[in-house]
Amino acid sequence: MAAPNAFSVMTIRYLDRANINPVLWDDCVGVSAQRLIYAFSWYLDALTTGAGAPYWGGVVAEDRGRYVAVMPVVYQKKYGIRYVYQPDYCQQLGIFSRDTFDLPSASAVFFRQLTHTFKWIVSYRFNETNETELQFPDSFSVIKRHNHVLPLDKPYVDLFRNYAMDRKINLNRARNTDWVVEEKPDIRPLIHLHRKHNEEKAVGGINLDLTIYDRFANAVDALQNRGLARIWLARKPDSETAEAGGLFVLDRDRIIYLFNGASTSGRKQQARLWMINRLIEEFAGQPMAFDFESPAVGAESVKAYYQSFGAEEKPYSEISYDHLPGFITYARTLVRGLQNNKKATD
């Protein structure tokens, strides 16, 4: 579909992954003001390859053989219906554009392409930068979410001064434990640690699709191959057993706390706090930000914990959209009702 008015020299259209040029796509994401690691083609490829994997494509604005704005879309298929949803380990997507692209004016075309291609959007999250660039149509249901990000451009002594008193006290507790932090080449031991000690609480009773861990491990391998990941495991000096760990993604001006795990001992003796503080201290005074990747839904205590580092609250928007034919909507509601009744009687 050709874009109207000022955009008549370019095309804005939806493309499935097979028709996307990954070099042009990644070049656009890489120079965009909205840049986030989740939007690169190689990261999305890893999350959508393998057993149980979803699919992805995107709305692309192309001008004279160059992608000038892209919007990645992850989707699944069920009963012949394609529906959009936000995948795990991919907190924010949205539109990523070059500086020369007039995103506020063109966004309506992106939305039309999205809703023309997908009649059902279960969940889609736009990035923090898009908050000041986009005006969502009335047909979207919009919920405001909040992330927590700590700018690191001040000296460490100033950053530490803004820690809550509990964080300062617990850092001393971690120091007394004398944690040994080691960098590892493989995320899988950390996944195992998380699954053993943290998974049940993290998923909150949801029936988790375990194939996501294989796809996530492949995505981390892709990060490692590009020198963008630090995988840290912490153990006590007299033990070889890892008690806590964290995955930190370092991309240009952002450190993303993407994944973690801890045993009861690691949690109580503040091993994760020790690792977070170590990175904050290492990059203090640089034009970078530490992104805690706060949970989108619930987990208020986790958000409060991240905020206690002096992190700033950053809003972003999550949308949903349902324009399926009435009989499909009715059938879907009926199936959900039957499933809920079955759970109640199990």
- 13/159 same-domain check: no
- 102/160 same-domain check: no
Beta pairing class for 120-125 and 289-291: unpaired
- 301/155 same-domain check: yes
Residue 178's CATH number: 3.40.630.30
**pLDDT confidence bin for 326, thresholds 50/70/90:** low
> Could you tell me how many residues make up the chain?
346
Note the pLDDT tens digit of each residue in 208-266: 788 999 999 999 999 999 999 999 999 999 999 999 999 999 999 999 999 999 999 99
Averaged pLDDT, 72-91: 94
Beta pairing class for 229-235 and 96-97: unpaired
- 129/158 same-domain check: no
pTM for the structure as a whole? 0.91
Q: Which domain holds residue 63?
A: 5-139+323-345
- 11/131 same-domain check: yes
- 129/256 same-domain check: no
**pLDDT confidence bin for 344, thresholds 50/70/90:** very low
pLDDT of amino acid 78? 87
- The distance from CA 36 to its chain's CA centroid, rounded to whole angstroms, is 9
**pLDDT confidence bin for 8, thresholds 50/70/90:** low
Note the pLDDT tens digit of each residue in 177-213: 999 999 999 999 999 999 999 988 877 656 778 899 9
Note the pLDDT tens digit of each residue in 141-179: 999 999 999 999 999 999 999 999 999 999 999 999 999
User: Token match 């992190």: residue?
Assistant: 311
User: For residue 308, is pLDDT > 50?
Assistant: yes
Task: Please count the structural domains in the chain.
Answer: 2
Residue 49's CATH number: 3.40.630
Look at residues 70, 76, 61, 10 and name the one whose alpha carbon lies nearest to residue 41: 70
**Spatial separation of the C-alpha atoms in residues 244 and 14, rounded to whole Å:** 42
